[in-house]
Chain A
Amino acid sequence: MMRALVAVFSLLLSQTWISQAMAAHAPSFPATMLDGSRTTLEELLPKDKLMLISFWATWCVPCLAELNTLSSKLKDSKIPLKVVTVNVDSSETKAQVKPTVSDLKKNAGFAFPVVVDPTHAIFSKYQPNAALPFSVLVGPDGSILQSFSGYQETMLGKIEELAAKTLPKKAVAGSNGEG
């Protein structure tokens, strides 16, 4: 039994070099927006801002807290950030999505685009085991800069740091956070 476990870990650790050849880019996807219209990752990506793809579900309490916080804090923020939310409610709870978005809009000023992904076609590309909350920060070139698992109050501060590191200074100085 121990030998099996040692073999597993050895295999995992030895595979680090393989990851060096793997993609840095956010997996591309076509998507349906909450209003039924179609889009793609490429269309959603802003040219001069970072993009946070935030996965959430109506039954995920920390996800809703995260969306509330992001909505409130980004209203007057100068962080060059676009937030795109991906709802992953399946058929069981899909009926709650629009009412929940209405609540978020009216209570917290939520104004982020909402992509609907009931079959987890997008979610499974980004988060293989469907743990929520989960967010991915993507650069203007589509590269993944960072991922966040779990709701973190310090997330925006870290995004601001990354924006300062990765975006041209002009973009950082001149942008307003997108609600």
Chain B
Amino acid sequence: MRFLKAAVITATFGAQLFAATESIEFDSPSTPFSLPVKLHATEHFLFSNTTDFVDPTLPRTSLLMNEGRVRAEYDQFSFGIHYSNRYTPDGNPLPNRPFVLEKKALSFENKNWTVVLGDSHQELGRGIALSLFRDDIFGLANTVEGASARYTSSSGSIEVGGFAGRLRSLQAPVALIPWQDPLEDRQVWMASASAKARVADDSYVGGHYLLTLARPLQSTQFDKRWHTTGGSVSSEGILPDVDVYAESNVLSSQNAVDGSNLRPTGYGTFASVTYSPLPWKFQVDGKDYRGYYFDFQRPPSLEEDIVQSLNNQDMSIGRLTVSRNGIASSFSVGQDRVAKAPMRHFVLRGVANGPARTVWVARAGYRWLVGQNNISHANIAVKIPTFAGQTLELGYRKLLSNLNLNFFPTTDDRNYFDVSYSFSDHWSMNFGYEYLPTNSDENGQHYFNGGTRVAFSSDLQARAFIGKTSGGPQCSGGICRTVPPYTGGMLDVSYVF
């Protein structure tokens, strides 16, 4: 029997442009036999031993986290669960969770229908109206626990769907620095309907409606209500080499008891036009989010992964990207209505093959929020083949930020050096050094860390890390957030059946 194999990278320290290039291959011998029910399962363990970043004199804390996913397929039906547990050997019982059934779902899937009873991720349009997604780095996996159904015609000319249920977040996420639980103090229910239809060759119109109700955890009375209505149009090749997408949403926030408005009506609009007369490519993207305060979304931010792209509530940005033969430059112009300042951002990036089969990746840019702050950023990385099957990767990243220019000017200078060496497809080591010359002596200016990744077999893989990282912006799946410094060690083990 041959098994599904997977490489697992669950925690990322520092930005490595080649972070996703680990090379592992598997081929397990097997004894063929078949079961009417196909089973798939994974186990993931994460052990962390850390020093408190606020008060390093406190005793170090250890935490052992585990999660498993098991799914059984029978014909067009499947049933899956996701469970987790955690334990601290330090004697503090508070973090201990012997067993948490995080998710469960019974699904029916065929070419045209997807029906789920239980937990399901959902997204409407480009994630402005709603996005319930999974991100392992930040320990996020919000789902609707209820029922959902979607029908798509075989040609794709018609698609209709709907869902209803209660939102569920992870209770014991297996992540070093999990995102704050958006449901820790409230219960949220949702119901939605959406439809999309082809109106011409490669041209679609769509619409969606979402009702959201919320109440405090201890209450039986809903106190907040949101109505979201949105529509989209898309057309590929509407003119020669021109593709267009546009979506707009209206968000109404109400007091669920008396129907009064909690906020003025919010608007969220995104549009993208691409013109590709090769070898050139021109793309114009625009977002216009006005008073759009809604927690469960992941809209296009049009921001680079150097800043927390959290302001998707009241901001407008237009971005022009011009690219040719692996080199691209973009210029963004916008208005941040929360910070009450114009925003500008210029970025130049490129990928190139160098001599001796080296591959170079570079990016540099300058972002400024006029009168408030500015950030210069640059990355460069090179992958160098050495001996047979072995590669050396070198990376340098710099972020120089001048902050609070209108209030209390400060400078934050961050330099990240990464060296990693892959001895084979199954073993690599990496070393990092972070230099923050603008840090106070108390916070430290030098951060050293190291790690290794080993694939013991096709089923069992591990990563280990020890040392210090300085924190700062960390991005995953389009979301960036500022994470605190980390001092300690961690072991991350994955087992795929």
> Which residues in A have some Cβ–Cβ distance to B below 8 Å?
1, 3-5, 8-9, 12-13, 15-16, 18-30, 32-33, 35-40, 43, 60-63, 65, 90-96, 98-99, 102-103, 106-107, 118-121, 124-134, 136, 143-152, 155, 158, 162
| B204 pairs with A91, CB closer than 8 A | no
CB-defined contacts of B283 to chain A, threshold 8 Å: 95-96, 99
Query: Is B87 among interface residues, defined by CB-CB distance under 8 A?
Result: yes
- Give 18 CB contacts A-B under 8 Å: A3-B89, A16-B459, A18-B497, A21-B39, A22-B41, A23-B40, A24-B34, A32-B156, A38-B152, A60-B20, A90-B131, A91-B123, A92-B478, A98-B243, A136-B4, A143-B32, A146-B27, A150-B23
| B497 pairs with A36, CB closer than 8 A | no
From residue A72, how far is it (CB to closest CB) to chain B in Å?
13
Closest to B42 in A: A128
| B281 pairs with A151, CB closer than 8 A | no
Given contacts A32-B156, A95-B274, 13 further A-B contacts (CB under 8 A): A18-B41, A21-B35, A36-B204, A38-B156, A61-B17, A62-B20, A90-B131, A102-B276, A106-B276, A129-B7, A131-B20, A147-B6, A155-B25
| A150 pairs with B22, CB closer than 8 A | yes
| B8 pairs with A129, CB closer than 8 A | yes
| A92 pairs with B127, CB closer than 8 A | yes
| B21 pairs with A32, CB closer than 8 A | no
Query: Is B149 among interface residues, defined by CB-CB distance under 8 A?
Result: no
Query: Is B136 among interface residues, defined by CB-CB distance under 8 A?
Result: yes
Q: Give 1 or 0 for each of B231-257: 1 = CB within 8 Å of chain A CB.
A: 000001000010101000000000000
| B62 pairs with A27, CB closer than 8 A | no
With a 10 A CB-CB cut-off, give which of A4, A62, A96 has the most chain B CB atoms: A62
CB-defined contacts of B2 to chain A, threshold 8 Å: 24, 143-146
Query: Is B92 among interface residues, defined by CB-CB distance under 8 A?
Result: no
Q: Give 1 or 0 for each of B357-371: 1 = CB within 8 Å of chain A CB.
A: 001010000000000
Query: Is B30 among interface residues, defined by CB-CB distance under 8 A?
Result: yes
CB-defined contacts of B299 to chain A, threshold 8 Å: 91-92
C-alpha spacing A28/B114, complex, angstroms: 13
The A-contacting residues of B in range 339-393, CB under 8 angstroms, are 351, 359, 361
Closest to A65 in B: B359
Count class of interface residues, chain B: 35 or more
| A150 pairs with B245, CB closer than 8 A | no
C-alpha spacing A61/B87, complex, angstroms: 38
| B20 pairs with A22, CB closer than 8 A | no
Query: Is B495 among interface residues, defined by CB-CB distance under 8 A?
Result: yes
C-alpha spacing A51/B359, complex, angstroms: 28
CB-defined contacts of B38 to chain A, threshold 8 Å: 23, 25, 27
| B134 pairs with A120, CB closer than 8 A | yes
| B47 pairs with A125, CB closer than 8 A | no
| A107 pairs with B278, CB closer than 8 A | yes
CB-defined contacts of A151 to chain B, threshold 8 Å: 21, 23
| B23 pairs with A149, CB closer than 8 A | yes
C-alpha spacing A30/B108, complex, angstroms: 10
| A22 pairs with B494, CB closer than 8 A | no
Instruction: Return the contact of B47 from the options A8, A21, A37, A98 (Cβ within 8 A).
Output: A8
Query: Is B205 among interface residues, defined by CB-CB distance under 8 A?
Result: no
C-alpha spacing A16/B458, complex, angstroms: 11
CB-defined contacts of A43 to chain B, threshold 8 Å: 111
Query: Is B477 among interface residues, defined by CB-CB distance under 8 A?
Result: yes
